[in-house]
A and B are shown apart, each in its own frame.
Chain A
Amino acid sequence: MEYTLKPNSLFIDKISLVNGLQKGEDLAFALLYNQYADLLFSYGTGLGFAKEDIEDSMQEIFCNLYLNHSKIHEINNLKFYLLRALKNRLLNVSQASRTQNFIDMENVDFYTEVTVLDDLIDAEDRTAIQKKIQSYLDELTGRQREAIYLRYIEDLDYEEIAELMNMTVPSVRNLVFKAIKQLRNSKIPSLMWPILFSIVKI
């Protein structure tokens, strides 16, 4: 498949990418897809979905985005928009197929798998750090992990996290605050947490 790159379509920055999307230029959509594919895949994985489900949902989201491309400028934060659309889409999928039984949004577990990307330390230390951080995160609830993931990895603000997680801003802050407190106390090993909130891989 080939493109003609028109001299008037410049995607060197966010502004012009949005302008390209607005005009419905297919190259802009291809670039947007490639830019956010891994990020959306990571989030979908965290929500516990299989690769095929995530891919299909992403396809639908981007097709819908194209169908409404004349309104794209109304989207303030494309990343947030895509993450929210993916979550809604995936939850719909899980409700339709009975194989996964999420009862409601509040009970979605969220997995976090820790990877240390720094390659200047030796493998042994890297694994040690990975394990340690993993064990801290494992002690949190799924929702706390999701909030931390969205705040720390996706760099969303509290308002956006609140909307994505269907909560109020104060309760997100509270959730994160509790997570902090819990991490703080985790030096004293609590047997309760891992049992109550163990990670169940689907």
Chain B
Amino acid sequence: MQTKHTSENYVDFQAKDFATDVYFLQWCLLPDEENAEFWREFCEQHPEKKETVQRAIQLVRSVHLNDRSFSEADKRNNTLRLLGFIRQQKRKEKRRRIYAAWGVAASVLVAVLFLTIPRFVSSDSFVASSGYVIPDDRNIQLVSGDNQVISMSDSSEVVYDHQGDVKINGEQHDLNNQKEVVESNQKLVVPKGKRASIRLSDGTLVWINSNSVIEFPAVFTGTERHLKVNGEVYLEVAKDPGKPFIVSTPQFNVEVLGTKFGVSSSVDKSQYVVLVEGSVQVHTPSGQTARLKPSQLFGIDKGGTFIQEVDPYRYVSWKDNVLYFNGESLPEVLVRLSQQYAVDVICNIDVCQVQFYGKLILEEHIENVLDNIAVLSPIKYETRNNKIIISLK
């Protein structure tokens, strides 16, 4: 029936000829089994045409329908109009809230009851860590099983050997010399603006981002290796098929099958597991289980759980002291930085439209990072009362 669509018709075609051929366009715009089969076969029979076809696909992909955009000025004005409305609304809400305070208190109580019960029922591994408050101390702290506290500087290397002895920067520390202490939990507390890394007794490497706590035993004695996380970490788990590695967070558990991945469980930040390499299984308190493939992200938001394909390195690059951005708006970049360095950043609405591509090195001070940004983008900054104020140049 479709006699005109024979491969011979296309052997002399150039990319632009393909791009204007109705049958080719159909395949690009509205692929179905029939036309997909035809073009797959065509490429097989005429491998010399493959490159041309690729180029033509690229051309058609660049076709946009109704390619309209607002001018920067329009977008800015509309955004300001929207923000004006939101702020006005917020002022009204504030006034109303004073009267409604009692009503709110009652509903909060109900919500708390709702939230905590399922946690108690479904898993015994969700304990303590969720309620842990990170001290305002400026230093990273290692808390041993018998509650000795060691403070250390930013770039410290903490290593546990297989007997549970601790070395910090190559120096031996007598923390866990009693038997019962060895089995009890050690705690590493990383305050805002700091990062740390640690090697556990089984050889597993853990990077801990700012504002995070991990809990682990000096040696893994049981049939499973347990690590408790509250915050953001990146793990390279040492393989031990006989002893599965389990990361528990207040929101979910991750069962590891030998692998590299990032976990974030801060209540304030995103809650996610992102897999770089290997395989992990995520268990939520509500009984859901999900097995992740590399480059997949398992996330929790108020609407529930979901899995999404992502570029995993963007989520874990902080361990290498860099952040990667791909078209994020400048406020997103600044929020990331304000989190990393625990500094308040104030910015002007204009910077909403500045987009950021590429990598950003996490230098020791946020000012150095901002200097780098200022070179690349039309912004300037100043420091006022420990706050950083960003505006357009």
Contacts and interface: CB of A to CB of B under 8 A. Distances in A.
B116 interface: no
A184 to B, nearest CB: 7
A96 interface: no
Instruction: Kindly name the residue among A118, A183, A187 whose own CB sees the greatest number of chain B CB atoms within 10 A.
Output: A118
A177 B86 CA distance: 44
Interface string B39-67: 00000000000000000001100111111
A22 interface: yes
Given A5-B347, A19-B302, A37-B75, A118 B81 contact: no
A102 B375 CA distance: 52
Contacts, number: 216
A30 B299 contact: no
Q: For chain A, give the interface size range.
A: 35 or more
B329 A10 contact: no
Q: How large is the interface on B (under 10, 10 to 19, 20 to 34, 35 or more residues)?
A: 35 or more
A26 B86 contact: yes
Contacts of A26: 83, 86-87, 90
Contacts of B85: 59, 63, 66
Contact of B303 (A24, A62, A73, A115): A73
B29 A148 contact: yes
Contacts of B66: 42-43, 45-46, 111-113, 149, 153
Closest 7 A-B residue pairs measured CB to CB? A8-B268, A118-B62, A73-B303, A73-B302, A132-B20, A38-B69, A42-B66
Interface stretch (B246-254, B281-289, B337-345): B337-345
Interface of B: 2, 4, 15-16, 19-20, 22-23, 25-26, 29-30, 32, 58-59, 62-70, 74-75, 78-83, 85-87, 89-90, 192, 268-270, 272, 297, 299, 301-303, 306, 308, 310, 314, 328-329, 331-332, 334-336, 338-339, 342, 344-349, 352-353, 387, 389
7 contacts: A5-B346, A13-B310, A26-B86, A37-B70, A41-B68, A62-B82, A115-B65
A5 B331 CA distance: 8
A74 B2 CA distance: 47
B62 A117 contact: yes
Interface stretch (A82-90, A121-129, A193-201): A121-129
B82 A7 contact: no
